[in-house]
Amino acid sequence: MRNSVVKKWLAGGMALILSFAALWGCKGESASQSVENREVSEETDQSDKTRRVTDAAGNQVEVPESLEKIAVTPLPWSSVVYAIDGTSEHMMSINPGAMTAYTGYFLEKLDPAYGKLDTTAIGKDFSINMEQLVSEGVQACVIWDYQTEEAKQLTEIGITPVMVKNETVKELQDSFRAIGQMLGKEERAQQFIDAYSQAYEEIKSYADQVEQAEKPKVLYLRDSELKLQGNDNFIKEALEIAGADNVAADVSEITMEEIIKINPDIILLSNFDTFVPDDLYQNKMEGQDWSQVKAVMEKKVYKVPMGIYRWDAPGVETPLMMKWLARLIQPDIFSDIDMEQEVRDFFESYFQTTLTDEDLSQIMNDEANQNSNY
Protein backbone atom coordinates (compact mmCIF):
# COMPACT_ATOMS: atom_id res chain seq x y z
CA MET A 1 0.00 0.00 0.00
CA ARG A 2 2.75 2.39 1.05
CA ASN A 3 4.76 1.52 -2.11
CA SER A 4 1.73 2.26 -4.23
CA VAL A 5 1.27 5.69 -2.63
CA VAL A 6 4.96 6.50 -3.03
CA LYS A 7 4.87 5.54 -6.68
CA LYS A 8 1.82 7.73 -7.29
CA TRP A 9 3.46 10.63 -5.46
CA LEU A 10 6.67 10.29 -7.49
CA ALA A 11 4.76 10.05 -10.75
CA GLY A 12 2.77 13.17 -9.92
CA GLY A 13 5.92 15.06 -8.94
CA MET A 14 7.70 14.09 -12.14
CA ALA A 15 4.74 15.23 -14.23
CA LEU A 16 4.74 18.56 -12.41
CA ILE A 17 8.47 19.02 -13.02
CA LEU A 18 8.07 18.22 -16.70
CA SER A 19 5.21 20.68 -16.96
CA PHE A 20 7.32 23.43 -15.44
CA ALA A 21 10.22 22.54 -17.76
CA ALA A 22 7.99 22.69 -20.81
CA LEU A 23 6.52 25.99 -19.68
CA TRP A 24 9.96 27.47 -19.01
CA GLY A 25 11.18 26.19 -22.37
CA CYS A 26 8.32 27.94 -24.13
CA LYS A 27 9.00 31.15 -22.24
CA GLY A 28 12.72 30.90 -23.06
CA GLU A 29 12.02 30.27 -26.71
CA SER A 30 9.56 33.15 -26.76
CA ALA A 31 12.08 35.48 -25.14
CA SER A 32 14.77 34.41 -27.60
CA GLN A 33 12.47 34.98 -30.54
CA SER A 34 11.53 38.37 -29.11
CA VAL A 35 15.20 39.42 -28.96
CA GLU A 36 15.81 38.19 -32.51
CA ASN A 37 12.71 39.97 -33.79
CA ARG A 38 13.78 43.17 -32.07
CA GLU A 39 17.26 42.96 -33.62
CA VAL A 40 15.79 42.36 -37.09
CA SER A 41 13.39 45.27 -36.56
CA GLU A 42 16.24 47.56 -35.53
CA GLU A 43 18.27 46.53 -38.59
CA THR A 44 15.26 47.15 -40.84
CA ASP A 45 14.64 50.55 -39.24
CA GLN A 46 18.30 51.45 -39.74
CA SER A 47 18.31 50.39 -43.40
CA ASP A 48 15.08 52.33 -44.03
CA LYS A 49 16.57 55.63 -42.83
CA THR A 50 17.47 58.08 -45.60
CA ARG A 51 19.19 61.42 -46.16
CA ARG A 52 17.68 64.11 -48.37
CA VAL A 53 19.92 65.59 -51.05
CA THR A 54 19.28 68.70 -53.12
CA ASP A 55 21.47 68.23 -56.16
CA ALA A 56 22.98 70.92 -58.40
CA ALA A 57 20.00 70.72 -60.79
CA GLY A 58 17.62 71.45 -57.92
CA ASN A 59 16.25 67.92 -57.66
CA GLN A 60 15.44 66.62 -54.21
CA VAL A 61 16.38 62.96 -53.89
CA GLU A 62 16.97 60.53 -51.07
CA VAL A 63 19.90 58.22 -50.39
CA PRO A 64 20.25 55.55 -47.69
CA GLU A 65 21.63 56.93 -44.44
CA SER A 66 23.96 53.92 -44.43
CA LEU A 67 25.27 54.76 -47.92
CA GLU A 68 28.12 52.39 -48.74
CA LYS A 69 28.23 51.93 -52.52
CA ILE A 70 28.52 54.86 -54.93
CA ALA A 71 29.23 55.11 -58.66
CA VAL A 72 30.67 58.31 -60.16
CA THR A 73 30.17 59.09 -63.85
CA PRO A 74 31.88 62.50 -64.41
CA LEU A 75 35.67 62.48 -64.59
CA PRO A 76 36.66 64.93 -61.85
CA TRP A 77 33.97 64.01 -59.40
CA SER A 78 35.42 60.79 -58.04
CA SER A 79 38.24 62.94 -56.67
CA VAL A 80 35.63 65.30 -55.19
CA VAL A 81 33.83 62.37 -53.51
CA TYR A 82 37.21 61.16 -52.24
CA ALA A 83 38.13 64.60 -50.88
CA ILE A 84 34.83 65.23 -49.11
CA ASP A 85 34.47 61.67 -47.81
CA GLY A 86 38.13 61.45 -46.81
CA THR A 87 38.34 57.97 -48.31
CA SER A 88 37.60 56.03 -51.50
CA GLU A 89 36.06 53.07 -49.65
CA HIS A 90 32.45 54.01 -50.44
CA MET A 91 32.99 54.22 -54.20
CA MET A 92 32.46 51.17 -56.38
CA SER A 93 32.77 52.35 -60.00
CA ILE A 94 34.35 55.45 -61.57
CA ASN A 95 35.10 56.79 -65.03
CA PRO A 96 38.18 55.12 -66.56
CA GLY A 97 39.45 58.58 -67.47
CA ALA A 98 39.66 59.39 -63.77
CA MET A 99 41.95 56.43 -63.21
CA THR A 100 44.44 57.77 -65.77
CA ALA A 101 44.89 60.76 -63.45
CA TYR A 102 45.69 58.39 -60.59
CA THR A 103 48.22 55.80 -61.74
CA GLY A 104 51.71 57.24 -61.35
CA TYR A 105 50.48 60.51 -59.86
CA PHE A 106 50.20 62.04 -56.39
CA LEU A 107 46.82 60.55 -55.43
CA GLU A 108 48.34 57.08 -55.78
CA LYS A 109 50.56 57.91 -52.81
CA LEU A 110 47.74 59.54 -50.88
CA ASP A 111 45.24 56.68 -51.28
CA PRO A 112 46.51 53.30 -52.56
CA ALA A 113 43.00 51.80 -52.32
CA TYR A 114 41.62 54.18 -54.98
CA GLY A 115 43.46 52.19 -57.66
CA LYS A 116 41.28 49.14 -56.98
CA LEU A 117 38.01 50.85 -57.95
CA ASP A 118 36.06 49.40 -60.88
CA THR A 119 36.36 51.26 -64.20
CA THR A 120 34.24 48.98 -66.39
CA ALA A 121 30.68 49.97 -65.43
CA ILE A 122 31.20 53.60 -66.50
CA GLY A 123 32.31 54.50 -70.02
CA LYS A 124 34.71 57.25 -71.06
CA ASP A 125 31.70 58.81 -72.78
CA PHE A 126 29.83 58.83 -69.41
CA SER A 127 27.66 55.88 -70.45
CA ILE A 128 26.46 53.63 -67.62
CA ASN A 129 26.13 49.85 -67.49
CA MET A 130 22.96 49.72 -65.43
CA GLU A 131 22.98 45.95 -64.96
CA GLN A 132 26.52 46.03 -63.62
CA LEU A 133 25.70 48.76 -61.12
CA VAL A 134 22.77 46.67 -59.86
CA SER A 135 24.99 43.59 -59.54
CA GLU A 136 27.52 45.66 -57.57
CA GLY A 137 24.81 46.82 -55.20
CA VAL A 138 25.32 50.51 -56.03
CA GLN A 139 22.94 52.74 -54.07
CA ALA A 140 23.68 56.17 -55.58
CA CYS A 141 25.27 57.42 -58.81
CA VAL A 142 26.77 60.87 -59.43
CA ILE A 143 25.97 62.10 -62.95
CA TRP A 144 26.11 65.28 -65.03
CA ASP A 145 23.02 67.49 -64.93
CA TYR A 146 22.28 66.85 -68.61
CA GLN A 147 22.06 63.07 -68.12
CA THR A 148 18.29 63.18 -67.61
CA GLU A 149 17.58 59.89 -69.39
CA GLU A 150 20.20 58.12 -67.29
CA ALA A 151 18.61 59.65 -64.19
CA LYS A 152 15.26 58.10 -65.09
CA GLN A 153 16.83 54.70 -65.71
CA LEU A 154 18.76 54.80 -62.45
CA THR A 155 15.63 55.71 -60.52
CA GLU A 156 13.70 52.85 -62.12
CA ILE A 157 16.27 50.30 -60.93
CA GLY A 158 16.42 51.69 -57.41
CA ILE A 159 19.66 53.73 -57.65
CA THR A 160 19.54 57.39 -56.63
CA PRO A 161 20.91 59.83 -59.25
CA VAL A 162 22.75 62.88 -57.88
CA MET A 163 23.40 65.59 -60.49
CA VAL A 164 26.40 67.95 -60.56
CA LYS A 165 27.32 71.02 -62.67
CA ASN A 166 30.58 72.93 -63.23
CA GLU A 167 30.23 76.10 -65.29
CA THR A 168 30.20 78.69 -62.49
CA VAL A 169 31.42 79.03 -58.92
CA LYS A 170 27.84 78.78 -57.67
CA GLU A 171 27.18 75.59 -59.66
CA LEU A 172 30.35 74.04 -58.31
CA GLN A 173 29.53 75.05 -54.75
CA ASP A 174 25.98 73.68 -55.11
CA SER A 175 27.49 70.45 -56.43
CA PHE A 176 29.91 70.18 -53.50
CA ARG A 177 27.01 70.79 -51.14
CA ALA A 178 25.04 67.98 -52.79
CA ILE A 179 27.99 65.57 -52.47
CA GLY A 180 28.32 66.55 -48.81
CA GLN A 181 24.61 65.86 -48.22
CA MET A 182 24.87 62.55 -50.05
CA LEU A 183 27.76 61.45 -47.83
CA GLY A 184 26.40 62.96 -44.62
CA LYS A 185 29.46 65.21 -44.48
CA GLU A 186 28.03 68.67 -44.98
CA GLU A 187 30.64 70.38 -42.78
CA ARG A 188 33.50 68.85 -44.75
CA ALA A 189 31.90 69.95 -48.04
CA GLN A 190 31.48 73.46 -46.64
CA GLN A 191 35.24 73.70 -46.12
CA PHE A 192 35.82 73.30 -49.85
CA ILE A 193 32.91 75.63 -50.65
CA ASP A 194 34.54 78.27 -48.45
CA ALA A 195 37.92 77.69 -50.13
CA TYR A 196 36.29 78.53 -53.49
CA SER A 197 34.73 81.70 -52.11
CA GLN A 198 37.96 82.86 -50.52
CA ALA A 199 40.09 82.27 -53.64
CA TYR A 200 37.49 83.76 -55.99
CA GLU A 201 37.04 86.87 -53.86
CA GLU A 202 40.81 87.25 -53.47
CA ILE A 203 41.40 87.19 -57.23
CA LYS A 204 38.38 89.42 -57.94
CA SER A 205 39.66 92.00 -55.43
CA TYR A 206 42.31 92.89 -58.03
CA ALA A 207 39.69 93.43 -60.75
CA ASP A 208 40.48 97.13 -61.24
CA GLN A 209 44.19 96.46 -61.74
CA VAL A 210 43.47 93.51 -64.02
CA GLU A 211 41.09 95.61 -66.09
CA GLN A 212 43.78 98.24 -66.71
CA ALA A 213 46.61 95.77 -67.35
CA GLU A 214 47.82 94.57 -70.71
CA LYS A 215 46.39 91.08 -71.16
CA PRO A 216 48.65 88.39 -72.65
CA LYS A 217 47.07 86.16 -75.28
CA VAL A 218 46.64 82.72 -73.71
CA LEU A 219 45.95 79.47 -75.56
CA TYR A 220 44.87 76.47 -73.49
CA LEU A 221 45.38 73.17 -75.33
CA ARG A 222 43.62 70.01 -74.22
CA ASP A 223 45.64 67.66 -76.45
CA SER A 224 48.10 67.35 -79.31
CA GLU A 225 45.22 67.24 -81.80
CA LEU A 226 44.66 70.91 -80.93
CA LYS A 227 41.41 70.52 -79.06
CA LEU A 228 40.99 73.27 -76.47
CA GLN A 229 40.50 73.03 -72.73
CA GLY A 230 38.32 74.91 -70.27
CA ASN A 231 35.93 76.78 -72.55
CA ASP A 232 32.95 74.67 -71.45
CA ASN A 233 33.41 75.07 -67.70
CA PHE A 234 34.51 77.44 -64.93
CA ILE A 235 38.15 77.47 -66.10
CA LYS A 236 37.05 79.90 -68.81
CA GLU A 237 36.09 82.44 -66.14
CA ALA A 238 39.20 81.63 -64.10
CA LEU A 239 41.32 82.70 -67.08
CA GLU A 240 39.33 85.90 -67.43
CA ILE A 241 39.62 87.01 -63.80
CA ALA A 242 43.33 86.11 -63.85
CA GLY A 243 43.86 88.72 -66.54
CA ALA A 244 44.19 86.58 -69.67
CA ASP A 245 43.05 87.31 -73.18
CA ASN A 246 41.56 83.88 -73.87
CA VAL A 247 42.13 84.05 -77.60
CA ALA A 248 40.04 81.01 -78.48
CA ALA A 249 37.35 81.27 -75.80
CA ASP A 250 34.41 80.43 -78.04
CA VAL A 251 35.64 77.34 -79.87
CA SER A 252 36.47 73.76 -78.90
CA GLU A 253 39.38 73.20 -81.30
CA ILE A 254 41.81 75.17 -83.42
CA THR A 255 44.15 74.72 -86.39
CA MET A 256 47.89 75.29 -86.58
CA GLU A 257 47.31 78.03 -89.10
CA GLU A 258 44.96 79.83 -86.72
CA ILE A 259 47.49 79.50 -83.89
CA ILE A 260 50.24 81.06 -86.02
CA LYS A 261 47.89 83.90 -86.90
CA ILE A 262 46.87 84.48 -83.27
CA ASN A 263 50.48 84.11 -82.09
CA PRO A 264 49.75 83.51 -78.36
CA ASP A 265 52.00 84.88 -75.62
CA ILE A 266 51.36 81.94 -73.28
CA ILE A 267 50.37 78.34 -74.00
CA LEU A 268 48.95 75.99 -71.36
CA LEU A 269 49.09 72.21 -71.81
CA SER A 270 46.47 70.09 -70.06
CA ASN A 271 46.97 66.76 -68.35
CA PHE A 272 44.43 65.09 -70.61
CA ASP A 273 47.38 64.43 -72.92
CA THR A 274 50.98 63.44 -72.25
CA PHE A 275 52.48 66.29 -74.28
CA VAL A 276 54.95 68.61 -72.52
CA PRO A 277 56.52 72.02 -73.29
CA ASP A 278 59.67 70.44 -74.75
CA ASP A 279 57.53 68.84 -77.45
CA LEU A 280 56.73 72.33 -78.68
CA TYR A 281 60.17 73.81 -78.00
CA GLN A 282 61.79 71.02 -80.01
CA ASN A 283 59.05 71.02 -82.64
CA LYS A 284 58.25 67.33 -82.14
CA MET A 285 54.53 67.55 -82.85
CA GLU A 286 53.91 65.73 -86.10
CA GLY A 287 52.37 67.88 -88.83
CA GLN A 288 52.72 71.06 -86.76
CA ASP A 289 55.28 73.87 -86.87
CA TRP A 290 55.66 75.76 -83.60
CA SER A 291 59.00 77.38 -84.36
CA GLN A 292 57.60 80.86 -85.08
CA VAL A 293 55.00 81.01 -82.30
CA LYS A 294 55.84 83.70 -79.73
CA ALA A 295 55.07 81.58 -76.63
CA VAL A 296 57.36 78.85 -77.92
CA MET A 297 60.14 81.22 -78.90
CA GLU A 298 60.04 82.87 -75.47
CA LYS A 299 59.64 79.52 -73.68
CA LYS A 300 56.33 80.38 -72.11
CA VAL A 301 54.62 77.02 -72.52
CA TYR A 302 53.47 75.42 -69.27
CA LYS A 303 52.20 72.02 -68.22
CA VAL A 304 49.33 72.58 -65.79
CA PRO A 305 49.75 71.16 -62.25
CA MET A 306 47.97 68.02 -61.06
CA GLY A 307 47.37 66.99 -57.44
CA ILE A 308 44.56 64.63 -56.49
CA TYR A 309 43.18 65.35 -59.95
CA ARG A 310 43.94 67.42 -63.05
CA TRP A 311 43.75 71.12 -62.24
CA ASP A 312 42.50 71.52 -65.83
CA ALA A 313 38.96 70.59 -64.78
CA PRO A 314 36.96 72.13 -61.92
CA GLY A 315 37.38 70.15 -58.70
CA VAL A 316 38.43 70.65 -55.10
CA GLU A 317 41.82 72.07 -56.15
CA THR A 318 40.34 74.77 -58.39
CA PRO A 319 41.04 77.46 -55.75
CA LEU A 320 44.72 76.62 -56.30
CA MET A 321 44.23 76.70 -60.08
CA MET A 322 42.74 80.19 -59.85
CA LYS A 323 45.78 81.43 -57.95
CA TRP A 324 48.25 79.61 -60.20
CA LEU A 325 46.73 81.16 -63.31
CA ALA A 326 46.71 84.63 -61.76
CA ARG A 327 50.34 84.41 -60.63
CA LEU A 328 51.43 83.07 -64.02
CA ILE A 329 49.45 85.42 -66.27
CA GLN A 330 49.74 88.68 -64.29
CA PRO A 331 52.82 88.19 -62.06
CA ASP A 332 53.18 91.89 -61.21
CA ILE A 333 49.59 92.25 -60.03
CA PHE A 334 49.51 88.95 -58.11
CA SER A 335 53.08 89.07 -56.79
CA ASP A 336 51.90 88.34 -53.24
CA ILE A 337 50.78 84.84 -54.19
CA ASP A 338 53.36 82.25 -53.12
CA MET A 339 52.22 79.13 -54.96
CA GLU A 340 54.59 76.79 -53.17
CA GLN A 341 53.23 77.86 -49.79
CA GLU A 342 49.64 77.89 -51.07
CA VAL A 343 49.88 74.27 -52.19
CA ARG A 344 51.60 73.14 -49.00
CA ASP A 345 48.99 74.89 -46.83
CA PHE A 346 46.12 73.47 -48.89
CA PHE A 347 47.18 69.85 -48.45
CA GLU A 348 48.02 70.39 -44.80
CA SER A 349 44.64 71.99 -44.08
CA TYR A 350 42.35 69.78 -46.14
CA PHE A 351 44.17 66.44 -46.26
CA GLN A 352 46.34 66.61 -43.12
CA THR A 353 49.30 65.85 -45.36
CA THR A 354 52.70 67.49 -45.13
CA LEU A 355 54.08 67.61 -48.64
CA THR A 356 57.70 66.71 -49.23
CA ASP A 357 59.70 68.68 -51.77
CA GLU A 358 59.30 65.72 -54.13
CA ASP A 359 55.52 65.76 -53.65
CA LEU A 360 55.35 69.46 -54.41
CA SER A 361 57.55 69.07 -57.47
CA GLN A 362 55.34 66.25 -58.77
CA ILE A 363 52.13 68.25 -58.25
CA MET A 364 53.54 71.36 -59.92
CA ASN A 365 54.90 69.37 -62.88
CA ASP A 366 58.37 70.85 -62.33
CA GLU A 367 60.12 68.29 -64.52
CA ALA A 368 57.86 68.99 -67.48
CA ASN A 369 58.26 72.75 -66.98
CA GLN A 370 62.01 72.77 -66.31
CA ASN A 371 62.85 74.58 -69.55
CA SER A 372 60.05 77.15 -69.34
CA ASN A 373 60.48 80.75 -68.21
CA TYR A 374 58.48 82.19 -65.32
Q: pLDDT value at position 6?
A: 37
Q: How far apart are CA 66 and CA 137, in angstroms?
A: 13
Q: 353 with 347: CB under 8 angstroms?
A: yes
Beta carbons within 10 angstroms of residue 163's beta carbon: 25
Q: pLDDT value at position 48?
A: 76
In CATH, 213-363 is 3.40.50.1980: yes
Q: How far apart are CA 72 and CA 108, in angstroms?
A: 18
**Residues whose CB is less than 8 angstroms from the CB of residue 182 and which lie 6 or more positions away in sequence, other chains included:** 51, 53, 63, 67, 70, 140, 142, 162
Q: How far apart are CA 99 and CA 116, in angstroms?
A: 10
CATH 3.40.50.1980 domain extents, the chain: 50-199, 213-363
Q: pLDDT value at position 345?
A: 98
Beta carbons within 10 angstroms of residue 169's beta carbon: 20
Q: pLDDT value at position 47?
A: 57
Q: pLDDT value at position 232?
A: 87
280 half-sphere exposure, CB direction, 13 A CA radius = 32
The model carries a pTM of 0.86
Q: Which helix (H) or strand (E) holds 96?
A: helix 96-99
Q: How far apart are CA 253 and CA 373, in angstroms?
A: 26
Fold of 50-199: Rossmann fold (3.40.50)
Q: pLDDT value at position 33?
A: 52
**Residues whose CB is less than 8 angstroms from the CB of residue 1 and which lie 6 or more positions away in sequence, other chains included:** none
> For each of the chain's 374 residues, which pLDDT tens digit applies?
444 433 443 444 444 444 444 444 444 444 445 444 444 444 445 557 999 999 999 999 999 999 999 999 999 999 999 999 999 999 999 999 999 999 999 999 999 999 999 999 999 999 999 999 999 999 999 999 999 999 999 999 999 999 999 999 999 999 999 999 999 999 999 999 999 999 999 999 999 999 999 999 999 999 999 999 998 899 999 999 999 999 999 999 999 999 999 999 999 999 999 999 999 999 999 999 999 999 999 999 999 999 999 999 999 999 999 999 999 999 999 999 999 999 999 999 999 999 999 999 999 999 999 999 99
